[in-house]
Amino acid sequence: MIAKEFEAFLLEQEETFLTPAENLAALIDTHNADHAILVLSQITYTRIPVVTFDKRFVGTIGLRDILAYQMEQGLTDEQMAKTDIVNMTKTDVAVVAPDYNITEVLHKLVDEPFLPVVDDEGIFQGIITRKSILKAVNALLHDFSKEYEIRCK
C-alpha cells in the first residue's frame, strides 16, 4: 500500500500520465506487415498499440512479433506483405481502465514499458508509459519535502 501522502503527491501530476490515443502512433489490425514494419522502423518505441478501425483495442505489436510470425509460418517476404498484422499481434497485454489507481499502474508497469488505457466498451483511450510514472516518482523524491514535513518516529 502506498502512503496516502505519496499517493496524493503522485496524483497531483496525473494529467501528465496519459498520452491520449490521438497523439500516438498506432496500427489498424488490418494493416499488412510491410506497413507495420515501416511504421515501427520510423519511431523510437519498440511496441505500439493495435486497434480496430473503430478504435477498439486489440493488442500491441513490435518488430520481433512480425519476424517471429514470419519464421514460425515459413512465409516469404511477399506473403508477409499481404498478411494482416492481427495474426501477429500480442493480445494478452496488461491494460488499465480510465479510472485506474496508481498502485495498479505501478504493479503492472514493472513488466511493461507502457499500459494501454481501455474503457468499458474496449475503446482505446491512450497509454500510460513507465517514463511518465518515473518522472512523477522523480518529482516525488526531489520535491516531496517542499510540500510535506517529514518526521522520524
The predicted pLDDT at position 144 comes to 63
**Residue 135 belongs to what H/E stretch?**
helix 130-147
Chain segment 67-91, per-residue pLDDT in tens:
999 999 999 999 998 999 999 999 9
Pairing of strands 27-28, 47-51: parallel
Phi, psi of 72 (to 5 degrees): -65, -40
Mean pLDDT in each 10-residue stretch from start to end of the chain (153 residues)?
74 82 95 94 91 98 96 94 94 95 91 94 96 84 68 74
Calculate helix-pair angle for 33-42, 63-73, nearest 10 degrees: 150
| Rounded (5°) CA angle 119-116-101 | 70
Give the residue extent of every domain in the chain: 1-147
The CATH number of the structural domain formed by 1-147 is: 3.10.580.10
The predicted pLDDT at position 1 comes to 67
Residue 34 neighbours by CB distance under 10 Å: 16
Tell me, letter by letter, the H, E, C secondary structure of 109-134.
HCCCCEEEEECCCCEEEEEEEHHHHH
The predicted pLDDT at position 13 comes to 75
Dist CA 144 CA 103 (whole Å): 18
- Kindly report the pTM of this predicted structure: 0.85
**Residue 20 belongs to what H/E stretch?**
strand 18-20
Chain segment 103-119, per-residue pLDDT in tens:
899 999 998 889 999 99
Mark 117-127 as b/e (b = at least 16 C-beta within 10 Å).
bbeeeebbbbb
Residues in the chain: 153
The predicted pLDDT at position 148 comes to 63
On average, the pLDDT of the chain sits at: 90
